[in-house]
Amino acid sequence: MWIVLTFGLLALPFLSLPGRYVFDTRDSLWLNPTGYLARALVLWRGSPYLGHQQHDGILFPMGVAVWMLRSIGLSAWVAERLWHGFLLLTTAGSTILLVDALRGRRAVAGPVTAGLLYSLTPYTFGYGLQFTAVFLPYALLPLLLLVTLRGIERKGFVWPALFGLTTFAMGGGNGAPQAYGLAAAAGLWAWIALIDRRVSLRSAARFAGWSLLFVVGLNLYWLFLLGSSEVSNALAFSEQPYGINISSSASETIRGLGFWQFYGGDRFGPWIPSVRTYVTSIPLLMAGFAVPLGALLSAWLVRWKHRLFFLLLLVVSVFVGVGIFQPSDPTPFGRALLFLYGHVPGTAGLRTTYKAVMVVNLCVAVLAGIGIAALWDRLAAKKAPRLVRTAALLGVVLVVGANAYPLWAGRLYNPAHGLRQVPGYWREALNELDLRDTDYRAFFAPATSWATYRWGAIKEGITATDPGLASISPIRLPIGERFGSNLVAAVEQPYLAGRSATGSAQLFRYLGVRDVVLQNDIDWVRANTAGPSQLKRLLGDHNLVPAGTFGTAKGNVQVLSVRDPIPMVRAESPDPVILSGDGFGMADAAREGLLQGGPPVLYSGTLTSSELQTLIRDSNPRFLITDSNRRVVWYFTGPRAPHSYTLPAGQSISGRDPGYLLFDDRPETQSVAVYPGARAITASGYGSVFRLSPQYRPANAFDGDPATWWVAGIGGDPTGAWIQAVFPKPLPMSSVTISSPNVPWLNRVERIRLEFSDGTSLASQLNQLGPTTIRFRERVTATLRVRIVSTGFSPTPRASGAAIGEIQVPGLRAAEIIQVPNDLMEAARQTDRGLALLAGQPIRYLFERARIDAPGLVDEETGISRRFQVPDSTAYILSGTVHIGPNASDDQIDELTMGRTATRVTSSSRYLGNPRLRGSSAFDRNPRTSWVPAGGKGQWVRIEFPSRSISRIVLRSSVGPKFSAALGVHATFSDGSVVHGNAARVRQGVIDMRFTPRVTSSVTVTIDRVYSLLDPRKPISIKEIEIPEVAPLKMDDAAVLPCSMSSSLTLDGAPLAIQPAGTVGHFLGGSNLPLQRCGAAPVSLKSGWHHLLARGGLQPDTISLATPGWRPPKRPDVLPSVSFSTTPTGGFDVAVRGATDPYYLVMGQNMDRGWRATINGRDLGPPILLDGYSAGWRIDRPGSYSVAVRYGPQRIYSFALILTGATLLVAVIVLIVSGYKGRSRGSRSKPWRPLGPTLRHPTPPQRP
């Protein structure tokens, strides 16, 4: 039996994707086991994530096993299949041993069935073999129960040692499956000691105590790692309970399913194809339920000693596996779990309740196996006909075979996740990079979640094949203290978010990067990341130069070199830039050229008031306050990590942690949303049900701008969606005006319900042609909720979602303002002269509009509305970049291009929004320009002027195949009188209206009749409207833009006189133009809070306010020379030569409080955060010396490794000594004591 089982289970994995390695736990272990193991004993891992504390915990047995298999010359795929076969065999074999022990005698049918049922499950194929490090506890759980069963009634250390060794063989990792396994063993222990009472409590406690000691001792090396920041990051940012339990219903959990990834997929198909069939195929569905059904029948009908234990354990573990299902309405148990995850440290690590399926599967397999054995015995005892026995056997084989279908059908693995071999050009490229100076890093762009190349897929990217290479391979899940991840995400903006590449080289210098490797052979569609054309945007920075290509002539791999790179470990100037914000603010500053020369960057969020004072006293810092580090909830689900809209201080969405959790989540370090008239503006949802759409946030409905909307339910049903404003104090209200935009891709909101805090509500129909004012009896309410009750007709069949453009409540002004970090002021205020000291320093405010630089997409912000604090009354220089606003009205454009004029022209619309086709183009006496409305009949243009008498209007429109012709119009005057006019001849396009002279201050010309030869959708083009008595406007594309007091830019509500630098032509063409104050006059600001608002005719991208003379600090002429070498334990020995002045020593490794530096044994104190990610120190000591930089926790890790080794030695000695004693005692040893069976035992367990 064993031979057949061994051969079968070892061979069958080879049927799936022969010749291809597929992902399992860590690619680097399989593709370069020696390189991986060489780093396994070192806690700090410098590549590929800028340095982090590793917590793999897969050194033993997986690491050693894979290394051994690969060392004997097996290829990665053969070694992997053998390992998987071995694990299947171990799983089945340990179950067979357990069932034999439970039955008290050896047999074939029952135990083998149990072994195969436990080993060959959807959980094994869909999850276990992808993460075999996590599968090891599954494989060894039966052995753990067997050791508990035997050991609890024996004296001595052998069984506790065996218990410990079993857990040791389960390996490390995230700990959840080990915990579930230990919980099952503890349950069995409690059953025997407290219910069964076969052994005394004292003896059971002794076994438990010693076992626990061995468990802790043997697993200390990875248990210690559970405290690492990587674990807390995974808990905060990776799979969350609401996703984990999205499909873990009891009916799925009991048949070994329920893991959320089993049900998901993308446009290329299911994530785990092998499991899909278990859910969609009726035969497999039946076979899946047949196993627990057999188990239940067995629990009912077959009497044996521990059956109730396995039954009750099954029930409990099913409900644990179910977890918080369904997440929208959890059970009290689910709510209790959520509470525990949030409030009891460590319990969140058990949130992956699908791992409890291991216990479910084992209970089901044991019960079913023993049931089969009993059935077999019964058939044999009753001498049942062979046909009946054959049918029973066939039934078992069918069920086991159906559950094992991916194994024999060759569908164990996802074909999209494998690779045959790494192409030669990549080996060449990596070899070349290996040979270059290791003082620098290589940056592999772009980020991926799963690096899918055109030749295969490696989850960790190509750097997994060369773990020794100093590299950065970006991923979105935050690493370490998250500063580095935040900065790298900002660095990747040029190709992932379409931002300008200017300043990228400077950011790469900070990261210690010399080579930027463009992975052009990535299947970017599948990997959902940037393609080659987007990667090329980096060449927009002239400091990134092509250095070579590998592969095809176009370059499957292209390497760009950074001009004047800076090594990872370096000395930097003593004069820093102190930045309020985060890595995105640093990237903004680099784009603006504010970090030229590479000054050290300190985040103000990390500074205490005394540190700030010291810095001002001992150096010449520059202060830079940005609107970055926004309080948003990030979803690190892919390279383009989506995020929520900016939240008010203290608020979150769905209970998720906001931002990158930098600076301990202090609100003063963040850019937060402020709604002046409301405490909160929330909604049931916003944007698409598939992706986050901050551009459709709830606050848009209260911003006074009908062009921005709150949108709900795109891709779903918006009925029932609501938006709510919470007021700081109850507000009297008697009317609300609501408008819903009329766009073809959205449903019109037909009916809404207003809900008030007193519990009353009222429903109303919305006007389909414009805003609807709903009047009601006045009430005082603390909240206003508007709920969409129904939606109406939409012109396009694919329309989904619905929007509310504006909700107006008399007396309520709640337009969103982003309040920028004020941590600097807070820190300064804490000391007596802090603010005064700060006031004398160079300070710059840098505001960037949140936008998506991709055509056709709606920007998150249409303007810049910022609230910021100023330390003292000072003059600031205004600068920035602006372009014409996409929603600028005709008169706003005229004001910006011509200044204030006596004549004002507005129109109903412009064709495609083109500013050149605005109304005033028909009133400039220039036949080459014209007003082209976005429609025909009903469109109007209005000309307002100082009151005078007029008697004639001539309208000339374009005629020809491209245009429709206006055949009839009417003119309305300010006195309400109307004159009609018709075209005499269609071909001429002239309508001449002569009328009795009348005094008027405006003329509104409305189109009544339109003629089109072929296509009525062709636009109308009005070239000229002549009113002889009114002087036309003077428009000149070549004219310099005038100084204007535009309402497009206000400071504390007052318009600023501004002048974009450029011509009218550039402006109308959409060019980005530098912004300045008229005559470069400074803006005077008093100390305190200020509000800057820029939107409307001018759309700003950047606005800056700086004290005169703000420039980045100069790089000192002389900096000490720095060279370094790495130590075997992950530290650095840094040789410093020729230090004369103070300097910053930057390590180029992610900030971690564990770093320590000493000079001749003198501690330099805790590290500080430098350049947005790195640990470093400010050193005042002159001369030449050596700095020893060590990672402190390595000592504890080394100690834990030694302790684990020592415990292992003790355990092995215990086993050897016991084996020797056992042999010498010979027949005196205890005979095998059957634990069962007591089949058909009619009574419950009795006391001994």
Partner 1 sequence: MQTLPRWAGAIALSAGFPAATWLVGGMVGLITGLVIVVLWWGMAPRLWVIWALSVVLLAIAPITVVLQGLPQTSVVGSGFGAEHLLAHRVVSVSLELAAFAGLVELAGLQSVSRSRTRRAWRTLSGEPRDLLTRGGDAPR
Tell me if 250 contacts partner 1 by CB under 8 A. yes
Kindly state the smallest distance separating residue 1107's Cβ from partner 1, in Å.
53
Closest CA relative to residue 151, chosen from 207, 210, 217: 207
For partner 1, how many residues bind (rule: CB under 8 A)? Answer: 57
Q: Which stretch binds partner 1 (CB under 8 A): 140-148, 311-319, 630-638, 1213-1221?
A: 311-319
CA 599 from centre of chain: 30
Q: Which of 315, 774, 789, 1239 binds partner 1 (CB under 8 A)?
A: 315
Tell me if 438 contacts partner 1 by CB under 8 A. no
Which x/- pattern over 163-202 shows residues binding partner 1 (rule: CB under 8 A)? --------------------------------x-------
Q: Toward partner 1, which CB reaches closer, 308 or 835?
A: 308
Tell me if 381 contacts partner 1 by CB under 8 A. no
Tell me if 248 contacts partner 1 by CB under 8 A. yes
Q: Toward partner 1, which CB reaches closer, 322 or 802?
A: 322
Kindly state the smallest distance separating residue 338's Cβ from partner 1, in Å.
14
Kindly state the smallest distance separating residue 145's Cβ from partner 1, in Å.
18
Coil, strand or helix: which one is 792? coil
Which x/- pattern over 1118-1147 shows residues binding partner 1 (rule: CB under 8 A)? ------------------------------
DSSP label of 127: I
Tell me if 297 contacts partner 1 by CB under 8 A. yes
Axis-axis angle for helices 109-119, 76-103 (nearest 10): 140
Instruction: Judge residue 715's burial from the number of C-beta atoms within 10 Å of its C-beta, 0-12 exposed, 13-18 middle, 19 or more buried.
Output: exposed
Q: Toward partner 1, which CB reaches closer, 319 or 550?
A: 319
Tell me if 855 contacts partner 1 by CB under 8 A. no
Euclidean distance between CA atoms 1125 and 1133, whole angstroms: 5
Tell me if 1248 contacts partner 1 by CB under 8 A. no
CB 590 within 8 A of CB 562: no
Q: Which stretch binds partner 1 (CB under 8 A): 292-300, 464-472, 1008-1016, 1059-1067?
A: 292-300
**Which stretches does DSSP call E strand in 338-439?**
418-419
DSSP label of 653: S
Q: Which of residues 1202-1241 bind partner 1 (CB under 8 A)?
A: 1240
Q: Which stretch binds partner 1 (CB under 8 A): 173-181, 314-322, 502-510, 814-822?
A: 314-322
Kindly state the smallest distance separating residue 381's Cβ from partner 1, in Å.
15
Cα→Cα distances 1051→628, 878, 894, 1057, Å: 20, 11, 22, 11
Cα→Cα distances 61→56, 173, 1050, 1090, Å: 12, 12, 66, 62
Cα→Cα distances 1122→513, 704, 1168, 1181, Å: 17, 57, 19, 14
Q: Which of 6, 331, 1050, 1071 binds partner 1 (CB under 8 A)?
A: 331
DSSP label of 539: G
Euclidean distance between CA atoms 1150 and 1169, whole angstroms: 9
Query: For 971, phi and psi rounded to 5 degrees?
Result: -110, 130
Q: Toward partner 1, which CB reaches closer, 713 or 1113?
A: 713
Cα dihedral: 674, 680, 686, 687 (round 10): -10
CA 619, 620, 621 angle in degrees (round to 5)?
105
Q: Toward partner 1, which CB reaches closer, 64 or 296?
A: 296
Q: Which two tokens stand for residue 901?
A: 């004029």
Q: Encode 598-614: b = buried (16+ Cβ within 10 Å), e = exposed.
A: bbbbbbbbbbeeeebbe
Tell me if 1242 contacts partner 1 by CB under 8 A. yes
Q: Which of 744, 856, 1244, 1248 binds partner 1 (CB under 8 A)?
A: 1244
Tell me if 686 contacts partner 1 by CB under 8 A. no
Q: Which of 51, 270, 406, 423 binds partner 1 (CB under 8 A)?
A: 270
Q: Which two tokens stand for residue 1063?
A: 């011509």
Cα→Cα distances 979→480, 580, 952, 972, 1112, Å: 74, 62, 10, 7, 65
Q: Which of 39, 103, 150, 276 binds partner 1 (CB under 8 A)?
A: 276
Q: Toward partner 1, which CB reaches closer, 336 or 1217?
A: 336
Kindly state the smallest distance separating residue 789's Cβ from partner 1, in Å.
24
Q: Toward partner 1, which CB reaches closer, 55 or 255?
A: 255
DSSP track, 488-506: HHHHTHHHHT----TTHHH
Q: Which of 170, 322, 590, 1211 binds partner 1 (CB under 8 A)?
A: 322
Q: Which two tokens stand for residue 399?
A: 């069920």
Q: In one letter, which amino acid is 591?
A: R
Euclidean distance between CA atoms 952 and 998, whole angstroms: 10
Q: Which stretch binds partner 1 (CB under 8 A): 163-171, 284-292, 1096-1104, 1107-1115?
A: 284-292
Tell me if 252 contacts partner 1 by CB under 8 A. yes
Kindly state the smallest distance separating residue 335's Cβ from partner 1, in Å.
9
Kindly state the smallest distance separating residue 286's Cβ from partner 1, in Å.
5
Tell me if 789 contacts partner 1 by CB under 8 A. no
Q: Which of 14, 260, 745, 995 binds partner 1 (CB under 8 A)?
A: 260
DSSP label of 342: H
- Residues 6 or more apart whose Cβ sits within 8 Å of residue 478: 233, 236, 237, 485, 486, 636, 660, 661
Kindly state the smallest distance separating residue 359's Cβ from partner 1, in Å.
14
Euclidean distance between CA atoms 389 and 1111, whole angstroms: 90
Q: Toward partner 1, which CB reaches closer, 234 or 308?
A: 308
Q: Which of 134, 140, 141, 299 binds partner 1 (CB under 8 A)?
A: 299
Tell me if 689 contacts partner 1 by CB under 8 A. no
Tell me if 249 contacts partner 1 by CB under 8 A. yes
Query: For 1098, phi and psi rounded to 5 degrees?
Result: -100, 130
Secondary structure of 919-938 as H, E, C letters: HHHHCCCCCCCCECCCCCCC
Q: Which stretch binds partner 1 (CB under 8 A): 54-62, 321-329, 454-462, 963-971?
A: 321-329
Q: Toward partner 1, which CB reaches closer, 301 or 547?
A: 301
Which residue is associated with the tokens 């429109």?
957
Q: Which of residues 227-246 bind partner 1 (CB under 8 A)?
A: 243, 246
Euclidean distance between CA atoms 315 and 320, whole angstroms: 9
Tell me if 123 contacts partner 1 by CB under 8 A. no
Q: Which stretch binds partner 1 (CB under 8 A): 35-43, 318-326, 518-526, 824-832?
A: 318-326
Q: Which of 4, 72, 282, 553 binds partner 1 (CB under 8 A)?
A: 282
- Residues 6 or more apart whose Cβ sits within 8 Å of residue 1166: 1153
Tell me if 296 contacts partner 1 by CB under 8 A. yes
Kindly state the smallest distance separating residue 745's Cβ from partner 1, in Å.
24
Tell me if 280 contacts partner 1 by CB under 8 A. yes
- Residues 6 or more apart whose Cβ sits within 8 Å of residue 335: 324
Tell me if 337 contacts partner 1 by CB under 8 A. no
Cα→Cα distances 546→391, 532, 542, Å: 71, 14, 10
Q: Which stretch binds partner 1 (CB under 8 A): 309-317, 764-772, 952-960, 1101-1109?
A: 309-317
What is the binding site for partner 1 (CB under 8 A)? 195, 243, 246-252, 254, 258, 260, 262-266, 269-270, 276, 279-280, 282, 285-286, 288-289, 292-293, 296-297, 299-301, 308, 311-312, 314-315, 318-319, 322, 325-326, 328-329, 331-333, 336, 1240, 1242-1247
